Amino acid sequence: MAGMQYENVCIEAIAYTLPDEVVTSAELEARLEPLYRRLRLPEGRLELMTGIRERRFWPAGMLPSEASIVTGKKALAAAGIDSANIGALVHGSVCRDHLEPATACRVHHGLDLPADCLVYDVSNACLGLMNGMLQVANMIELGQIRAGLVLGTESSRPLVETTIAALNADQSLTRRQIKQAVASLTIGSGSAAVLLVDRRLSRTGNHLVTAVARSSSRFHDLCHSGADECIADDMQPIMHTDSERLMHEGVQAALPAYEKLLANAGWTAGELDKTVCHQVGVAHRRMLLETLGLDPARDFSTVEYLGNTGSVALPMTAAIGIEQGHLQPGDQLALLGIGSGINVLMLAVEWQQSPTRRGRHSGSRSKLGAANTHS
């Protein structure tokens, strides 16, 4: 099990952007009416099983880089940092503009970042942004760069719409067989960005203390897509997920990682003030918190109204939690990531400064969201 310690890395800003279009679970069930009628499925089943009442969609055909640029600008503005200090840009979402070049290239151009900035994509299912945070933190700790921006945008419309069409078209499906498709109907859209800086550049002092990684790769086949494709307009992804076993094995992998995280941070379980977990569903959250012995009141959740937004779920939830006052100065915070594969990545943070002003909103509230983590 890997363990990484940091003395010089701070999380300076976390920003998010949400689509305007809200899609309820009831609306998805209405579109699944042929399947529901044939199998005599009760209405409300999707929300009852997952705890997700709604999720959001970007406009059809929108490239992930478009939202990532918007969110990256928010993070830079919230921190008030000179973009000349950005030494690395990592785009970490599952969704991307093309197979090549890296989606980070268009984002780098859109943010007008320095020419000597490292620019690349990272892909690791729901942990892509957290892996990017780790890579940037390592570069900062080594003194290679002063600051780095990690961001991504997930788009759920293609997966959800393709899944609905497939479920309605296949007349041979049984109640048991459709369980593997339920996870695909929980997916939501969103965008997040995390700015990490050297402590000497920081105005927040939000210290990244340590990180722990653990893999249970023998379960790599519990959740997988079809062949690798780009996110172009004609992409028609299909996911196959053994949700129950994935949930169980993921939580089992999380337990030793969590114990190692506390040990590396020098914290006891009672000293942990707040948590933010990857957002999958209410059953997963409940099982994870119970297994780790964590108080649900100290955790912050968005899955009920945003769905599972993949790699941006955890940082986006953290940003919304910051905006709503979940984090207070002096909090010891654990970011608990679990992704298919199965991989676990957890970060311990000593939080010092919560936002002193809420992000401004232009247009509808859903368009903007930035956690300004400095005074």
126 is catalytic: yes
For residue 89, give both structure tokens: 């840009």
Contacts of 68 (CB under 8 A, 6+ apart): 91, 93, 103, 107, 151, 152, 153, 191, 193
Catalytic residue among 27, 33, 43, 100: 100
* 3-class DSSP string for the chain: CEEEECCCEEEEEEEEECCCEEEEHHHHHHHCHHHHHHHCCCCCHHHHHHCCCEEEECCCCCCHHHHHHHHHHHHHHHHCCCHHHEEEEEECCCCCCCCCCCHHHHHHHHHCCCCCCEEEECCECECHHHHHHHHHHHHHHCCCCCEEEEEEEECCHHHHHHHHHHHHHCCCCCCCCCHHHHHHHCECCEEEEEEEEECCCCCCCCEEEEEEEEECHHHHHHEEECCCCCCCCCCCCCEEECHHHHHHHHHHHHHHHHHHHHHHHCCCHHHCCEEEECCCCHHHHHHHHHHHCCCHHHEECCHHHHCECHHHHHHHHHHHHHHCCCCCCCCEEEEEEEECCCEEEEEEEECCCCCCCCCCCCCCHHHCEEECCCC
Beta-carbon count within 10 A of 221 CB: 11
Token match 């003395």: residue? Answer: 7
| Residues that are catalytic | 100, 126
